[in-house]
């Protein structure tokens, strides 16, 4: 089965989250919800959202035949006393997991975190979620496809 480049990137990010990322979360001294892919989430698991879009190419990227994508990983965190701590833990853990595998399992030439954003609920204590939003730039040489 042929996979499109976008599918490969998304699947590689999912594999990172369910593999190395969850392994790093288990090493904390406190219990933190692990990542589980799907729609279920609760006190013990979260389901991050992964969005992918292509970036405008620079002239250099066109010449050396590189495609560039922006991947956004959003971690919704239930509003509890530990929510802010969990947001910081997810961002730090994602950085560590990506640092160990900047090629996303050989799919990309390089994946780099460009920004981290911590979003509290608009109204405190009303059941809305916190969010940790991490943006990546993923560069792939088109000749490898």
| pLDDT of residue 58 exceeding 90 | no
Residue bearing the bigger pLDDT, 3 or 144 = 3
Provide the pLDDT for residue 48. Answer: 93
The mean pLDDT value for 28-57 works out to 85
pTM of the model: 0.87
- Top-confidence residue, 114 or 3: 114
Please write the tens of the pLDDT for every residue from 68-121: 899 999 999 988 888 999 999 999 999 999 999 999 999 999 999 999 999 998
Which domains does the chain show, CATH number per domain? 5-144 (3.30.70)
What value does the mean pLDDT take over residues 4-16?
Answer: 92
**What pLDDT does residue 61 have?**
63
- Residue 12: which of 111, 95, 78, 105 has the closest Cα? 105
At residue 144, the pLDDT reads 44
Cα separation, 90 vs 73, whole angstroms: 11
pLDDT, the chain, mean:
87
CA distance 134 to 84: 15
Spatial separation of the C-alpha atoms in residues 75 and 52, rounded to whole Å:
15
Distances from the Cα of 39 to the Cα of 76, 88, 98, 112, angstroms: 12, 23, 24, 27
Element (H or E) spanning 97, and its range?
helix 83-100
- Look at residues 144, 143, 126, 139 and name the one whose alpha carbon lies nearest to residue 58: 139
| pLDDT at position 55 over 80 | no
Q: Given this model, what pLDDT does residue 76 score?
A: 92
């Amino acid at each position: 089965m042929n996979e499109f480049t976008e599918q490969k990137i998304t699947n590689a990010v999912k594999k990172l989250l369910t593999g190395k990322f969850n392994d790093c979360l288990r090493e904390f001294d406190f219990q933190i919800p692990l990542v589980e892919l799907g729609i279920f989430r609760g006190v013990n698991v979260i389901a991050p959202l992964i969005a992918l879009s292509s970036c405008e190419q620079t002239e250099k990227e066109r010449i050396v035949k590189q495609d560039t994508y922006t991947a956004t990983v959003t971690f919704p965190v239930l509003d509890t006393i530990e929510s802010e701590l969990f947001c910081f833990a997810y961002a730090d853990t994602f950085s560590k997991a990506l640092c160990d595998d900047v090629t996303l399992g050989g799919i990309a030439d390089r994946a780099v975190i460009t920004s981290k954003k911590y979003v509290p609920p608009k109204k405190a204590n009303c059941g809305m979620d916190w969010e940790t939003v991490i943006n990546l730039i993923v560069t792939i040489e088109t000749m490898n496809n």
